[in-house]
Amino acid sequence: MNPHLDDTIVAVSTPPGRGGIGVVRLAGEQAIAIARQLLRTSAGKEVEFHAGRAVFALVIDADSGERIDEAIVTYFQAPHSYTGEDIVEISAHGSPVILRYVVEQAMNRGARLAEPGEFTMRAFLNGRIDLTQAEAVRDLIDSQTLFQAKAAAQQLNGALSKRIQPIKADLMNLIATLEAGVDFAEDDVAVLPDEEIIGRIDPIVESLEKLSQSIAYGKLVHQGVTLAIVGRPNVGKSSLFNRLVERDHAIVTATPGTTRDLVSETVSLGGIPVKLIDTAGLRESQDEAEKIGIEKSYSALADADIVLVVSDASAPNFQEQNPWDRTLIQDSRAIYVQNKIDLLSQTPAFIKEDNKQIHVRTSALRDEGIKELRAHIIQMLSGESSQQEPGFLTNERQSHATRDALIAMKTARTAVHDRLPHEVLLLDLYAGLKALDSLTGQTSTDDILQLIFAGFCIGK
């Protein structure tokens, strides 16, 4: 990726394909000059650009002056634009032919085609956003649920940066105090005693440990979870699957062994993307196709984050007949579902505790207990999220940087206990500071920037 900021870039910022509106974005010193050559007022005059105002204009053939399209043009003046540069956005009709023509004409007049993520990269390089906020832009674009979008918007507003800021400030204050003691030792400047140094390192370590643990919640929000529905044949797994996805996706018959392959669908539960997997019934089988399906079921069971263990509540002594079920429900990932309660003479409570295990009783046929089942799945998904601080780690790069900072601070604490010279202690503290800087982007290398912004779409 070209990190230079002295050229003007152009790209289509709306998704590929046809639509009512398509946006061409120009950013850089020559954005207005180039746009003037491509646009005219309805009276045939040059368009006047006013910061923050949208104006009507005609897209013309810059060579012949022939009218091609109508557009709404918006000018964002530096340094108060997305990238910190002059930006002109041309909102024309969403014909790929027209949009491509505008881009080509802009390139013929000095603009360069933007690379993936280059607009956001310029925003970062110009100090408009930090690296965690840049990553939040991508998360916001990729969000599949409203909950994900809200979480990404919080990050874009600097929630993670604000959480890191006091940790970094405490570390910098400690470094400054120790540096003064080293530099002015001959002038009798007071040096912190070991107990006070430890007392200032420990809160930083504690904050970094909590921040490091937040990656689990961040992955849950942004990547979602996998939920496998398992059990014996003909206990209603596919019917439950259809109820949870709210449409008839899996085939349902009274014949055991109907499902012979994995059937999956992603739904939103509590704002978290959940990939539901309907599996083949677990039993001994001589049928080759069914055996393959059962093998896939065991594989899905091993990989799932949550498991619905389904049994037929109407079967005589169903718990005693299924020791495998009783073993599986001890798994912390499992929710034990007793289905087909519509066949019982008395309908028991939908949710009950049995030896500290929650059993959810349902009738997929009558849609009974499904609401309670969804609520319990959401409860498992949320966990401690209600106590989650604003600002959390969302990807491995952030997690790795936080772990590096935490390791450096623990090493520094060990150096104090070992009574090593403060010059050595400062090396560890500076290593921790550098790791925190890389988290927000102050010390990011070109290689890291390339990896981050290459994952963006062109025009963003």
Domain annotation covers residue 283: yes
Same domain as 74, residue 173: no
CATH number of the domain within which 245 lies: 3.40.50.300
Domain annotation covers residue 190: yes
Same domain as 249, residue 343: yes
pLDDT given for residue 358 in this prediction: 65
CATH number of the domain within which 436 lies: 1.20.120.430
Same domain as 92, residue 106: yes
Domain annotation covers residue 207: yes
- The CA R_g of the chain, rounded to the nearest whole Å, is 30
Contact 227, 276 (CB under 8 A): yes
In the three-class reduction of DSSP (H, G, I as helix; E, B as strand; rest coil), residue 9 is classed as: strand
Using the Cα atoms of residue 44, residue 46, residue 50 and residue 55 in order, give the sign of their dihedral. Answer: positive
Sheet holding 39-40, edge to edge: 39-40, 54-60, 67-76, 87-94, 19-27, 9-12, 112-113
Same domain as 368, residue 241: yes
Contact 242, 219 (CB under 8 A): no
Which strand (E) or helix (H) includes residue 409? helix 396-417
pLDDT given for residue 405 in this prediction: 96
Give the integer Cα–Cα distance in Å for 55 and 418.
69
Domain annotation covers residue 24: yes
pLDDT tens digits, residue range 248-277? 654 444 444 444 467 888 888 888 889 898
Same domain as 344, residue 262: yes
CA angle centred on 34, ends 98 and 20, rounded to 5°: 25
pLDDT tens digits, residue range 410-423? 999 999 999 898 88
Number of compact structural domains in the chain: 3
pLDDT given for residue 256 in this prediction: 47
Give the integer Cα–Cα distance in Å for 435 and 331.
37
Domain boundary among 367, 385, 403: 385
pLDDT given for residue 250 in this prediction: 47
Same domain as 344, residue 236: yes
Low-confidence ranges of the chain (pLDDT < 70): 1-4, 181-190, 247-261, 281-295, 297, 316-332, 346-358, 383-388, 443-452
DSSP class per residue in 169-229 = HHHHHHHHHHHHHHHTGGGT-----HHHHHHHHHHHHHHHHHHHHTHHHHHHHHH-EEEEE
pTM of full prediction above 0.85: no
Domain annotation covers residue 1: no
Domain boundary among 129, 147, 174: 129
Same domain as 363, residue 234: yes
Domain annotation covers residue 115: yes
| Of 225, 118, 212, 236, the residue nearest 406 (C-alpha) | 212
In the three-class reduction of DSSP (H, G, I as helix; E, B as strand; rest coil), residue 410 is classed as: helix
pLDDT given for residue 343 in this prediction: 84
Residue type at position 71: A
CATH number of the domain within which 21 lies: 3.30.1360.120
Residues 6+ apart with CB under 8 A from 190: 181
Provide the domain limits for residue 35: 9-129
Same domain as 376, residue 327: yes
DSSP class per residue in 352-408 = EEETTEEEEE-BTTTTBSHHHHHHHHHHHHHTTGGGPPS----SHHHHHHHHHHHHH
Same domain as 317, residue 362: yes
Domain annotation covers residue 165: yes
Give the integer Cα–Cα distance in Å for 138 and 142.
6
Contact 272, 221 (CB under 8 A): yes
Same domain as 236, residue 155: no
Distances (CA, A) of 174 to 202, 240, 426, 438: 12, 57, 9, 19
pLDDT tens digits, residue range 346-399? 655 555 555 556 678 888 888 888 999 998 888 888 764 544 677 899 999 999
For the chain, the distance separating the N- and C-terminal CA atoms, rounded to the nearest angstrom, is: 14
Give the integer Cα–Cα distance in Å for 141 and 162.
22
Same domain as 347, residue 244: yes
Same domain as 299, residue 277: yes
Which strand (E) or helix (H) includes residue 338? strand 334-339
Domain annotation covers residue 160: yes
User: Which residue in this structure is represented by tokens 């496998």?
Assistant: 228
Give the integer Cα–Cα distance in Å for 367 and 273.
22
Residue type at position 53: R
